[in-house]
Structure 1
Amino acid sequence: MEPLWKLIYLFEPAPLTLMLTAITVTFASAFRALTHGKEMERNRDFSESSITLDGPQALMIPLMSSCSLLLMFYLFSSLSQFLTIFTTAAAVFSLFFCFSPFVAYFNSKLGLVDPFLSRCCAMSFTRTQGLLFLVCIGIVGTWLVTGHWVLNNLLGISICIAFVSHVRLPNIKICALLLCCLFLYDIFWVYFSERLFGANVMVAVATQKASNPVHMVANSLSLPGLQLIAKKIELPVKIVFPRNLLGGDIPGSNSADFMMLGLGDMAIPGMLLAFVLCFDHQRSKESINPLNLSSLRGQTYIWYALPGYAIGLVVALATGTLTHAPQPALLFLVPSTLGPIIFISWIRKEFMLLWEGTETISKDKDRELEV
């Protein structure tokens, strides 16, 4: 155990940037989930594009995650190319999903005409969307060639936001079930997996690099500039920052040169924040604009969950700094986000509303409209 004064390390650029990025991504994921829900309400034909979890599905997530973790632990070298190709496709569509609202916003503000281009997979494509899709392919292609950590973070953040927007939690009952199961899942695979499998499975999988299919193709074709193409790349399943973020040295290939945080440590709390934000929004008559803080005055539960997430993240990083050992972040993030929401809702006698979820509020509003 390190002395407490070592916690001053948390004020260095890399830890600060990691924490600010994680908090911002979790916050942005909740708002993108809310705006995506509004889009689905306007276009009911696309309602199947989001999944609302029920009890059995919430239980299956940690079980399937455990199976996937073991599969990658034992067969990562065999599956790495497949994982890279699958991640590449997911990253392209996630980037497109995240950037589309900004493109639409600027088109409307500038009054630009965006003519219809084509129709694909039950979705209409405009010219601007087609150009955006090509830009997303270019960004992912650059990541495949260089493997740069900044692009890795960009792709990981977009995948996290897309996941939170498309996988929804209907009420606090399912929230608590999912978060508690993942709470135990994270503790087991970080603290106890080494006793059963001879290595820390979570850390081993998180720090492995995948084979780059672009390098293999270029090598087989004897293309020039092969040395500029990364042979192995980090998959965007985490965000990473060099420990010498503002230093003069270039970080090496060793994972010890980087600080990292798994996407699940942002996505899972982000799902909870998305639920309480949608819950607050359905109870409020005011619209929510993430760029206008004055529109957030009535959104109460989000302001208890978000500081809780920040506190849990700081405690997780502080514990890792003092112990020099990897920590299951959900061990700290689940109590610090779920706990305040349950406590405040119980004090306000609104716990049963959260327990039943937003469907009850929608039904109540429908009854009021009928009257």
Structure 2
Amino acid sequence: MERAVRLIILSVVFYVSQINCQEAILHISNERTNREYCIVYNQSWTPLSQTFDKATQYPLVNMTSTVLCNTSGVIPAVVKGKALVVMRGDCDFSQKAQVAQSLGATTLLIASKTLLITPSANDSEYAKVNIPLALMRYRDFIEAQQVFSEGMQVKLYAPTYPKIDVSLVVMLLIAMVTVTLGGFWSGACERDRMNGDGDGGESKADPKELFLYSPLKVVIFVALMCGMLVLMYYFYNVMVYFIIVIFCLASASALFSCIDAVMEILSCPSGSFSIKSCNFSVRSLILAAVCICIAVVWGVYRNEERWIWILQDLLGVAFCLNFMKTVSLSNFKICVILLSLLLLYDVFFVFITPFFTKNGVSIMVQVALGPEASGEKTQGNMVEVPAEPQAPSEKLPVVMRVPRFSAWAQNLCGMQFSILGYGDIIIPGLLVAYCSRFDVWVNSSKKVYFISCCIAYLLGMIVTFAVMLLSGMGQPALLYLVPFTLIASAVVAGCRGEMRQFWAGTTYMVRRPVLDSSREPLLPGLLSSNPDLTLTSLSPFYSAAAFLRAFFCPLLFFFWGHSSP
């Protein structure tokens, strides 16, 4: 009995873990060669074999001179027991299929010069068709004719692939490494600042760092993000190029900061020379050139699907790391306000806005994927595949992208990616960075706040992916990440009896120091006179890099907090 129960459970798990795609493979061969092409079918109407070996092979008959809306001009003996290729148009799919079936054909392929869509019909028509039906690109058939000329044999099959793709594991690893390194870097910078330069332990504030202290400023900040997102929705075709340029500049600067920090740790020689009393670092010049070249290569080849995602993820990781190190939240109160508002923002623009848009697509998805990416936004079991090569649509550089490694067969119809918004990394990452700095303030040798928040982020990501896989729909990851990280941090502070300090953060450190007596409070004198004062008000544009950060912060936060399988 137990063995039977286990077998049933394993069968259910295996069934749930498989996806039957609407895209399938057309295998054409003769005695000398073979080719594979993309086709689109309806698995609930005319299912196909899931493996190549089990698929039945049929001779292919070219009838693209007709649309096959009736039997006129067709000799049954020519098509009986064979697969037909006819043109799309004049009548619906079920009528074509019934005509082909009445002539004795075994398979119907419809060549299309327009968009390939999942074939469908009225409910009453489904039971009348008993042969496989699929759409293929007309240009693919022309290519096949040139390759094979005659004697074409075809097989149609639709391989399944597991829902839990390796790309999800890679995406989880990217997110965890970025959040952990960003939090650790922020804490290390805080420790260095607290220790000063070794001359009496004077604390020094980094002029490059941007602080958020005022709840009112956070509310205004989120309101500006909403306005920016709506602006992008209505003026996408103009704004997208502006954002791409800004991203190239900001990501090159971020990559420079990350690599330069690693070189400092490794004590790499810098070398220097002078020109008219101006000192230049050889290492910095070479590193800046390399980083600019990487950003330029991404900008030029940003629409090359096959490999450019590697550079986009590299620049994205560097950008997120530098952002978490540069932007600081002053206390847990600001963390709660910011993350809660962004959670509501994310849920509203993902789940609520589809009720107000004309095409029923959320504003967040429309902006993140671009107005031209209709196939990626198609809901339910419908699939749309372009029949002809199209000019690549511009997309915002707002997501980590990893190709689905187990879906290479379906990539005949187009590359498929798992994606994760930068906001899903940076927004919880700011809380992780605050926890890391608080560990420094209270001299926590075990880094209990930092580690617990990282674990909470990992659990939130796992839950996000689990819900996404079970529902088959992309999820606003902040819906799960924000509660996990906020609650875990609050529980740790409460259990350690440090909630008052944790809630007040920097302000508490200035007014009632909990640091080692040999250290000065953070930003002495400055915050004690005005706790809401920020370094941006003192020197907002101290350099070109600072200007980019100050300008790009609002743009970054509206970046899509939405993960997709």
Q: TM-score range by the shorter chain?
A: 0.7 to 0.9
Task: Say if 1:177 and 1:130 are closer, same or farther in 2 by CA, change over 3 A.
Answer: same
User: Which letter maps to 1:244?
Assistant: F
Establish whether residue 75 from structure 1 lines up as the match of residue 230 from structure 2: no
CA distance in 2, matches of 1:244, 1:88: 28
Q: Which residue of 2 aligns with 1:202?
A: 364
Q: Which residue of 1 aligns with 2:403?
A: 242
User: Which letter maps to 1:204?
Assistant: Q
1:209-224 to structure 2, matched below 5 A, reads none
User: Which letter maps to 2:206?
Assistant: S
1:138-153 to structure 2, matched below 5 A, reads 138-147=293-302, 148-153=308-313
Contact 1:117-1:127 at 8 Å conserved across structures: no
Q: Indicate the structure (1 or 2) with the bigger Cα radius of gyration.
A: 2
Q: Point out where structure 2 has 5 or more consecutive residues left out of the alignment.
A: 1-11, 19-161, 198-202, 303-307, 373-390, 521-565
Q: 1:34 aligns with which of 170, 183, 187?
A: 187
CA distance in 1, matches of 2:519, 2:317: 42
CA distance in 1, matches of 2:280, 2:396: 29
Q: Which residue of 1 aligns with 2:486?
A: 338
CA distance in 2, matches of 1:309, 1:350: 21
Query: C-alpha offsets along residues 243-269 of structure 1, whole Å, 9 cap, x if unaligned?
Result: 126847868766xx1111110110011
Question: What's the C-alpha RMSD, in Å, of the aligned pairs?
Answer: 3.0
Q: Which residue of 2 aligns with 1:115?
A: 272
User: Which letter maps to 1:150?
Assistant: I
CA distance in 1, matches of 2:240, 2:350: 22
Establish whether residue 169 from structure 1 lines up as the match of residue 329 from structure 2: yes
SS across alignment from 2:497:
coil
Q: Which residue of 1 aligns with 2:259?
A: 99
Q: Which residue of 2 aligns with 1:127?
A: 282
Contact 1:98-1:162 at 8 Å conserved across structures: yes
Please give the TM-score of this superposition, normalised by the length of structure 2: 0.54
Establish whether residue 280 from structure 1 lines up as the match of residue 439 from structure 2: yes
Q: By percentage of residues, which structure has more strand?
A: 2
User: Which letter maps to 1:73?
Assistant: Y
CA distance in 1, matches of 2:191, 2:274: 24
How much has 1:36 moved relative to structure 2? 3.7
SS across alignment from 1:239:
strand
Q: 1:58 aligns with which of 218, 222, 228?
A: 218
Task: Say if 1:264 and 1:125 are closer, same or farther in 2 by CA, change over 3 A.
Answer: farther
Q: Which residue of 2 aligns with 1:12?
A: 165
Contact 2:464-2:480 at 8 Å conserved across structures: yes
Task: Say if 1:37 and 1:349 are closer, same or farther in 2 by CA, change over 3 A.
Answer: closer
Q: Which residue of 1 aligns with 2:495?
A: 347
Query: C-alpha offsets along residues 94-149 of structure 1, whole Å, 9 cap, x if unaligned?
Result: 1111111112223x2x6x35225679xxx975110111000001111111222211
User: Which letter maps to 1:14?
Assistant: S
Task: Say if 1:126 and 1:209 are closer, same or farther in 2 by CA, change over 3 A.
Answer: farther
Query: C-alpha offsets along residues 255-294 of structure 1, whole Å, 9 cap, x if unaligned?
Result: xx111111011001100000011101222276xxxxxxxx
Q: 1:191 aligns with which of 351, 356, 361?
A: 351
User: Which letter maps to 2:326?
Assistant: H
CA distance in 2, matches of 1:33, 1:283: 15
CA distance in 2, matches of 1:124, 1:249: 55
Contact 2:182-2:321 at 8 Å conserved across structures: yes
Q: Which residue of 2 aligns with 1:215?
A: none
Counting matched residue pairs gives: 331
Query: Which structure ranks higher in relative contact order (CA pairs < 8 Å, sequence separation ≥ 6)?
Result: 1
SS across alignment from 1:307:
helix
> Which stretch of the first structure deviates more once superposed, 140-149 or 168-177?
140-149
User: Which letter maps to 1:241?
Assistant: V
CA distance in 2, matches of 1:173, 1:316: 25
Q: Which residue of 2 aligns with 1:216?
A: none
Q: By percentage of residues, which structure has more helix?
A: 1
Task: Say if 1:243 and 1:70 are closer, same or farther in 2 by CA, change over 3 A.
Answer: same
SS across alignment from 2:439:
helix
SS across alignment from 1:87:
helix
CA distance in 2, matches of 1:150, 1:172: 35
CA distance in 2, matches of 1:301, 1:97: 26
How much has 1:195 moved relative to structure 2? 0.9
CA distance in 2, matches of 1:130, 1:259: 36
CA distance in 2, matches of 1:232, 1:28: 33
Contact 1:152-1:235 at 8 Å conserved across structures: no
CA distance in 2, matches of 1:274, 1:140: 26
Contact 1:69-1:205 at 8 Å conserved across structures: yes
Q: 1:299 aligns with which of 436, 447, 454?
A: 447
User: Which letter maps to 2:166?
Assistant: P
CA distance in 2, matches of 1:193, 1:4: 34
Contact 1:7-1:318 at 8 Å conserved across structures: no
Task: Say if 1:250 and 1:129 are closer, same or farther in 2 by CA, change over 3 A.
Answer: farther
Establish whether residue 269 from structure 1 lines up as the match of residue 417 from structure 2: no
Task: Say if 1:23 and 1:232 are closer, same or farther in 2 by CA, change over 3 A.
Answer: same
CA distance in 2, matches of 1:163, 1:280: 20
How much has 1:27 moved relative to structure 2? 0.8
Please give the TM-score of this superposition, normalised by the length of structure 1: 0.80
Contact 2:209-2:326 at 8 Å conserved across structures: yes
Contact 2:443-2:515 at 8 Å conserved across structures: no
Task: Say if 1:261 and 1:370 are closer, same or farther in 2 by CA, change over 3 A.
Answer: closer
User: Which letter maps to 2:322?
Assistant: A
How much has 1:35 moved relative to structure 2? 3.3
Task: Say if 1:351 and 1:99 are closer, same or farther in 2 by CA, change over 3 A.
Answer: same
Task: Say if 1:98 and 1:252 are closer, same or farther in 2 by CA, change over 3 A.
Answer: farther
Query: C-alpha offsets along residues 45-78 of structure 1, whole Å, 9 cap, x if unaligned?
Result: 8733212112122212321221111111110102
Query: C-alpha offsets along residues 293-348 of structure 1, whole Å, 9 cap, x if unaligned?
Result: xxxxx110122111111111111111122222221111100111110111221122
Contact 2:190-2:440 at 8 Å conserved across structures: no
